[in-house]
Amino acid sequence: MTEQDKINRRRVIGGIGAGIAAAAVSPVLAADNSSPTSDSAPAELVDPTTKYPKPPFKGQSQPWPGLAGQMDPRPDHGETSYKGSGRLKGRKALITGGDSGMGRAAAIAYAREGADVAINYLPAEEADAREVIALIKAEGRKAVAIPGDLRDEAFCQRLVSQAIQQLGGLDIVVSNAARQQARQSILDVSSEDFDATMKTNIYAPFWIIKAALPSLKPGSVIIGTTSEQAYDPSPDLYDYAQTKAATMNFVKSLAKQLGPKGIRVNGVAPGPIWTPLQVSGGATQEKLKSFGGQTPMGRPGQPAELASIYVQLAASDASYATGQVYGAAGGSGQP
């Protein structure tokens, strides 16, 4: 091959290489140089300290377990604000306490992320539950309502069985339902009160998880709702705070037990959140009026502000997160 032939050959090969490189880069350049649309416009910043109502709140009281629909101001569970993106498409979730509070926020978010959802609640909470069921169905997802008292072991077993049967399986279990009654002194906590709180907050998750576990495949998730009370208990929540510490510990213990099986277990630890727990005996009237005012943000949180945490912990892209407790307390509490 002459020297001129070698030069020509190098030019041809160089030209082919340049063409391949240009073809590989051009789609990226096209994406980078594409003109922005209205959908890609940046969202405006929102000051979190003024996003929701601040105390003082007016005094109000409801019989246990209370209804979100009768609270003033009414809690925001993300009914109009949460936008899904298909992160839980095809998943099947059971949420206890799904009629109000964080359970309701999770149910709405899960449906908008593509999941079918079964919710449990007390019969007295039917009015709130009907709203949640309607919101789930509005997303084109299967909605299953299973009312009943979690203090009954046999009901907890039926709850799981019905959820699996009506959803066609189960891969997300959110143990969220809780009982909270403020008592100024341990002397004011009756054995009946103590027993009801323990059975709702500790026994029920044990019964439910035990019943669900044989049906949970690798990739499934269990999420417990603990609280800042697990780390910094209030003096008037003696029994409730103990249960939230227990929830935190079952999350960490069970995560180690189920990790090798590919089942993740995590927790959410809210601070002061505006839910029916507070107006149905969970807080004194004096505390209710200033509820959340002690946080650095100067207000209580709304259930909608925790919805994305429940979604993240359930989503498959959080596959390395297990045994974790995610806090949302407006700057106070732990973790």
Does 52 participate in catalysis according to the annotation? no
Coil, strand or helix: which one is 30? helix
CA distance 46 to 69: 26
Torsion of CA 243, 245, 251, 257, to 10 degrees: -100
Side-chain half-sphere exposure of 49, counting CA atoms within 13 A: 7
Q: Which two tokens stand for residue 261?
A: 């099986």
CA distance 27 to 50: 43
φ, ψ at 34 (rounded to 5°): -65, 145
Residue 44: Cβ-neighbour burial (10 angstroms; 0-12, 13-18, 19+): exposed
DSSP letter assigned to residue 287: H
**∠ Cα 153 193 200 (to 5°):** 30
Coil, strand or helix: which one is 106? helix
Residue tagged 């209710």 (tokens):
288
Side-chain half-sphere exposure of 304, counting CA atoms within 13 A: 13
CB of 135 closer than 8 Å to CB of 117: no
Q: Which two tokens stand for residue 127?
A: 């009015």
A 10 A CB-CB count for 199 gives 20
**82, 238, 240, 310: which one is catalytic?**
240
The catalytic residues are 240
